[in-house]
Amino acid sequence: MLIKAEKAINRFSDFLGTVSAVLFLLMLANVFIDVVMRYVFNDVSIAMQELEWHFFAAMFMLGVPYTLRTGGHVRVDLVYERLSAHKQSVIDIGGGVLLLLPFCLLVGWYGIDFAHEAFALGEMSGDPGGLPQRWIIKAVIPFAFFSTAIAGVAMILSSIITYRENTLHKTDRGLL
Amino acid sequence: MIGIVMFFVALLMLIFGFPVAFTFGGVALIFGVIAEGPDMFAFMPFRIQSIMENVTMMAVPLFIFMGIVLQKTRLAEQLLEAMGKLFGGVRGGLAISTVLVGALLAASTGVVGASVVAMGLISLPVMLKYNYDKSLACGTICASGTLGQIIPPSIILIILGDVLGIPVGDLFQAALAPGLVLIGCYVAYILVYSWLKPESAPALPMDDDVSSRREMYLRALKAIIPPLALILVVLGSIFAGIATPTESSALGGVGALFLAVLYRQFSWGMVYESAQETVKITAMVFAILLGATAFSMAFSYTGGDYIVEEVLSDLPGGQMGFLILSMVAILILGFFIDFVEISFIIVPILAPVAAALDIAPLWFAILIAMNLQTSFLTPPFGFSLFYLKGVAPPQVRTMDIYKGVIPFIIMQAAVVISLMFAPEWYGLTH
Amino acid sequence: SMAIFGNAQADDKVYRLKMAETWQTNFPIFGDAPRNMAAMAEKMSNGRLKITIDSANKHKSPFGVFDMVRAGQYDMGHSASYYWKGKVPNTLYFTTMPFGMTAPEQYAWFYQGGGMQLMEKVYGEFNLMSFPGGNTSNQMGGWFQKEINSLDDLKGLKMRIPGFAGEVLAKLGASPTNIPPGELYTALERRTIDALEWVGPSLDLRMGFHKIAPYYYTGWHEPATELQFLINKRSWDRLPADLQEILRVAMRTAAYDMYIQSYHESAENLAVIETEYPNVKIRTFPDDVMSALRKANEELLAEKAAADPVAKEILDSQAAYLKKVRRWTDISDKAYLNSISVSK
Ligand code: NA
Ligand code: NA
């Protein structure tokens, strides 16, 4: 049961990782094209310039849950690495429940209002030729934080399994 | 008061080893909610959006990508090995090469996260492969990756120029000499250290099949030119007015892919994998920034900023006394709050006092900039240390990094002190 | 978020307001206005009205001031109305307009010519009040790497010029470009962009542009940039009538003080630029460029008026008032300046 739930969440986080990787490549191409267009053709598009940070922001925000799932978030290992898998799982369960979940859920919760406000006002870029529909990029905030909370649940489940079985639960860590 | 308690609780929690980003965020949440109620967190989306819109930070993923592609195609490795071999029998060649490459990257970005991570990707694996002492390797990377803050263009200098009302161009010019002196110190330290402890930084083995020294140098040159040209293109694009510093890092990414094609290492699979790794590392860096912004929010909205202001608004002493105390204060505050906060909140408190004491603003600004650069390296909260740990292989422990940066922190302190007592050495006036 | 302390004696109650400013801590001139206002309000109210100011370094969201004041996270804000045009298009018209009124003319429009009522109409819908918050006086047209001698020189000109003025320039074939403020200096020095506009000598000097760009053009696009005090209506309503009046007077005085200060700083800094950097050439755009800009501006305004009845109402009011007040400016200040310069 726990394993099934964990796997389902991991698939979701991996999907976000794929989306982020594609967003990164789009951002790279976007910045490169903007430089070439400006330098070679003297042509600047404000919409394209704004698109740069839209890709950038969505990329790192959606990358956070994916990175949690692949164990990529940096830890200070002064104590952690010396502990048994059993004790490590206690830290991850405790940290997940007391620190990660409340933080992500609360920020996500306030993020809903934030994005909704932009939607209700029909907010768009203030610059000429800028992008419309500001709410979309603002909605990435609650979406990414709730997704991180969900990825956090998978981390907690995995730690519970480790704790119960008293051996490291080998979760499939994705590509990396 | 809450701010200080919060700091020590965060420190304790960090030591247990829960991810740094969520430790900062969670501790901020607990203290923020207890002191002010949950509504304080309605400010978070605004703060997050400011990070999302900060286009200067786009240099972080772009440089990371360049580093990963150079690493995957083994071009970075060849560059450093070739440079290391040019040092012949001299030990520490790889580390010195790292400092030099780091200095070049520093000249094309002002974002610390970008260059530390790129250097971590490019040169840490190579130094470890050649049995370098882990601490020496990590210290070198953190310190040279942090050079971007003092070598122009630099975000710290731009902000300080704004705060102190000094033209940015003057600051850029004034920062160059101290920056070069720092690079010189790093190189000298590596030479001395590896001479004293030969096993810590072995000289690279010479190729056996090479008949003459000349052929070896030619080979080394062939390996050096392409990746070095890439880095120079990045830098050159800024000087030629083709790209802004941030955009230049995209040229670096595309250029790295171009080199991959040239060396027949290109595949779409490689591109996708590199993008995926870029995402992971970028998200690691930005998650820390997201957690840290919650932390600094809770710190200042519970009154931490007022305490800091009160302490600083009456520092005693004449010119030297004031300089020493303010530098120490900034160094200590650097453990708690980030350089932007220090520049905008602390510096304006100190600036009028400095002016009243006839301290030249340019001199004062460079002192502060060097001091703030150090704050990226100081354990336990130095961001460079977290970033390097995030990209280092598992055998590199946090403690290796902490130990490794200490000599570099001491060198930076020494340069700051010399700048304080003998600004004329650096072309500055009192 | 407004706390009320004190006892039953209504007169002794201390009212505390929290204000968010768009500017960084200790930002000169712009940031002096709200600080000056808060100090005056506290003194005039004998300590009953205390306003604390959080800079962008504390709230971290310079362009979130509108939303934060609207949501009541802050009671007040100090910012500029045209920053909100992406959220509420008609807020554009209450800062300054290309080819529009000068500062004294615009103050007359606000206070005597119906401007305040129109501003209330736009902001009232969002439960906000907006008051003039200090004027930069005429802003300069910007720093240019090359001289502008004809309309052709504007074609493909890469210039950092945000907002509506950028739209006008784009109509003539220029390329308005977004560059983050931290990279402006390097971008202009290295000619990644050909030109940029910032404010005027008052704030341009510290950016150092005079060291890297030879041409400083006189203004056309922001003849009277007026900042703004924003107030959440609920916070305002909670204040007793006397404190409301004190706040109103403090805001109006602080706005005027900032106008004076801007004028003074610009004069001082222009003198510094001209004596220390004699190579900086001050230029005015040629006549054909000015008429083309003016025509493009009129076309854009006509589009805006056609699209929105409130926009039309505001633009009509401004145009009618400008016509009347400019006649007086012409035969008073302008005639005076012309006549004494001829007699020199
Ligand atoms: Na730099
Ligand atoms: Na302006």
- pLDDT tens column, B139-151: 999 998 888 778 8
| Residue B215 pLDDT grade (very low, low, confident, very high; cuts 50, 70, 90) | confident
d(CA A168, CA A163): 8
Give the list of residues 6+ apart from residue A147 with CB closer than 8 angstroms, or none.
Answer: A12, A13, A16, A62, A64, A65
Q: Among all ligands shown, which has an atom nearest to the Cα of C141?
A: 2
Average pLDDT over residues C113-122: 97
3-state secondary structure of A149: helix
Cα separation of A140 and C41, whole Å?
41
Flag if C186 and B244 touch (Cβ within 8 Å).
yes
Determine, for residues B46 and C60 on separate chains, whether the beta-carbon distance falls below 8 Å: yes
C1 SS3 class: coil
Confidence of residue B190 (pLDDT cuts 50, 70, 90): very high
- The b-or-e profile of B91-127 (16+ CB within 10 A means b, else e) is bbbbbbbbbbbbbbbbbbbbbbbbbbbbbbbbbbbbb
When pLDDT is averaged across residues A17-32 and rounded to a whole number, the result is: 96
Tell me which residue range forms the domain holding A36: 2-172
DSSP secondary structure letter of residue C217: E
Token digits for B204? 């690279």
What residues of chain C lie within 8 A of the CB of B301, using their CB?
58
Contact (Cβ atoms closer than 8 angstroms) between residue C84 and residue C66? yes
Task: Sort out which chain A residues have CB atoms less than 8 A from C82's CB and list them.
Answer: 126
Distance separating alpha carbons of residues B255 and B170, to the nearest angstrom: 32
- pLDDT over 90, % of chain B: 22
**CB atoms < 10 A from the CB of C203, how many?**
20
Evaluate whether B372 touches B338 at the Cβ level (below 8 Å).
Answer: no
Q: B256-289: per-residue pLDDT in tens?
A: 899 889 888 889 999 999 999 899 889 988 898 8
B218 contacts C168 by C-beta, under 8 angstroms? no
Which residue type sits at A7?
Answer: K
Cα(B407) to ligand 2 centroid in Å equals 47
User: How many Å apart are CA A47 and CA C6, to the nearest integer?
Assistant: 53
Residue B152 pLDDT class (50, 70, 90 cuts): confident
Position of tokens 């995209």? B250
Q: Residue A175: which pLDDT band, with cuts at 50, 70 and 90?
A: very low
**3-class SS shares of chain B: helix, strand, coil, % to 5:** 80, 0, 20
pLDDT of residue C210 exceeding 60: yes
Interface residue A129 vs chain C (CB under 8 A): yes
B293 touching chain A per CB within 8 A? no
**Which ligand gives the minimal distance to the CA of C196?**
2
As a whole number, the mean pLDDT across chain C is 91
Residue in chain A nearest C156 by alpha carbon: A42
- Give the β-pairing of C175-176 and C4-5: unpaired
> CB of B374 within 8 A of CB of B412?
yes
Joined together, the tokens standing for residue C210 give 């005079």
Torsion angle of the four alpha carbons A132, A137, A142, A144, in this order, in degrees rounded to the nearest 10 = 160
- Res. B336 pLDDT band, cuts 50 70 90: low
Judging by DSSP bridges, how do beta strands C281-283 and C142-144 pair with one another?
Answer: unpaired
Check: CB of residue A108 under 8 Å from CB of residue A149.
Answer: yes
Which residues lie at CB < 5 A from ion ligand 1?
Answer: B 106, 110, 148, 151, 154
What ipTM describes this predicted complex?
0.88
pLDDT band for C186, please (50, 70, 90 cuts): confident
Backbone angles phi, psi at C27, to 5 degrees: -65, 130
Q: State pLDDT tens for residues A132-143.
A: 898 999 999 999
Distance from C-alpha of B97 to C-alpha of B101, rounded to nearest angstrom: 6
Q: Are strands C128-135 and C226-232 parallel, antiparallel or unpaired?
A: antiparallel
**Planar angle of CA C21, C24, C26, nearest 5 degrees:** 100
Ligand located closest to C223 CA: 2
Nearest to A135 by CA among A151, A111, A116, A152: A116
Distance CA C152, CA C289 (A): 9
Q: Region of B210 please: left (phi>0), alpha (psi -120 to 50) or beta.
A: beta
pLDDT on residue C1? 43
Q: Residue A4's Cα: distance from chain center in Å?
A: 22
> Is pLDDT of C310 > 60?
yes
Domain count, chain A: 1
Confidence (pLDDT) at C10? 55
